Amino acid sequence: MTKEMTLKSVVAELRDGMTIGMGGWGPRRKPMALVREILRSDLKDLTIVAYGGPEIGMLCAAGKVRKLIYGFVSMDVIPIEPYFRKAREAGAIDVVELDEGHLLLGLRAAGHNVPFIPTRVGLGSAVMINNPQLKTIRSPYEDGEVLVAMPAIKLDATLLHVSRADRNGNTLTFGPDPYFDDLFARAAGKVYVTAEEVVDSIASDNPEDMKANLVEPYLVKGVVNAPLGAHPTASHYSYGWDLPHLKAYVASAAEENGWAAYFDKHIAGGEESYAASVGGEAQIRQLPLPTM
């Protein structure tokens, strides 16, 4: 059976109040086409889990977010996502601000179906002060060491963007860094994937391709053909992040009705008009990949 879906049909399977993981890292390989479809929808009261980038700010600006669980929310050369910052400073969202390692361990615990993973990460730091819900546990062995018990971060769904997928849910994610997409996938009840290219079948004896197969196909509920679907973030090796566009997006956060103007110009018209609104496909595909 084919797992191919549309952006609209994926978002139709999501529900208010869900906990949703976002793959990628900062301004790299974010599932932005699905994020934009969520922005066009009536979904609300979401808990978003991410190593965050512009998807976080956009969802906050649109009032879709009730709670954020994150290791950071940044666009690298733009250190703090501006719409996230406005929501955070206004107290408009609940937050769980974790060390990046805690987030990794929370996802790993969920993927292993255990309630927590013990770690030294966070001991003696502000992480424990800012997150009083984190508990410690004493080792049952002779050392008796006191450790942080990082609880599992269970996700109702994860959204990923990949380089290539087939209609059976096999995926290839090219690039030098897998980030933690595999952990987000295994922590989730359902995984929905957008791809730069969808083909009939991915079958290869190339070991490099096998290393790019990060997610077991049985985890994948839906696959969407979405070329340019990570823009304005980077998608190795298809295009880099769109820094001029990101700077314009950041500037909108300081303008009166800036989000409404950005939404109307780039998002409201649907994905069919999105590429044209940001300069066109040819221009996007010439964007240089980040080198840091």
Q: Which of 287, 256, 252, 254 is nearest to 266 (CA)?
A: 252
Lowest average pLDDT, out of 30-39, 123-132, 229-238, goes to 123-132
pLDDT for 116: 98
Question: What number is the average pLDDT over the span 195-223?
Answer: 88
Does residue 204 have a pLDDT over 80? Answer: no
- pLDDT computed for residue 134 by the predictor: 95
Residue 292 has pLDDT above 70, yes or no: no
The mean pLDDT value of the chain amounts to: 96
Say whether pLDDT at 244 is over 90.
yes
Query: Distance from first CA to last CA of the chain, Å, rounded?
Result: 40
| Helix/strand/coil for 210 | helix
Query: How confident is residue 205, by pLDDT bands cut at 50, 70 and 90?
Result: low
Give me the mean pLDDT over the 22-40 stretch.
Answer: 98
Per CATH, the number for 4-98+154-283 is: 3.40.1080.10
Q: Compute φ and ψ for 253, nearest 5 degrees.
A: -65, -20
Domain boundaries, given as residue ranges, for the chain:
4-98+154-283, 116-151
| d(C-alpha 42, C-alpha 16), whole Å | 9
* This prediction's pTM: 0.96
pLDDT band at 33 (very low <50, low <70, confident <90, very high): very high
SS3 88: helix
> Smallest Cα–Cα separation from 254: which of 48, 61, 37, 35?
61
Whether 72 has a pLDDT exceeding 80, the answer reads yes
pLDDT > 80? residue 5: yes
Give percent of the chain with pLDDT exceeding 70.
99
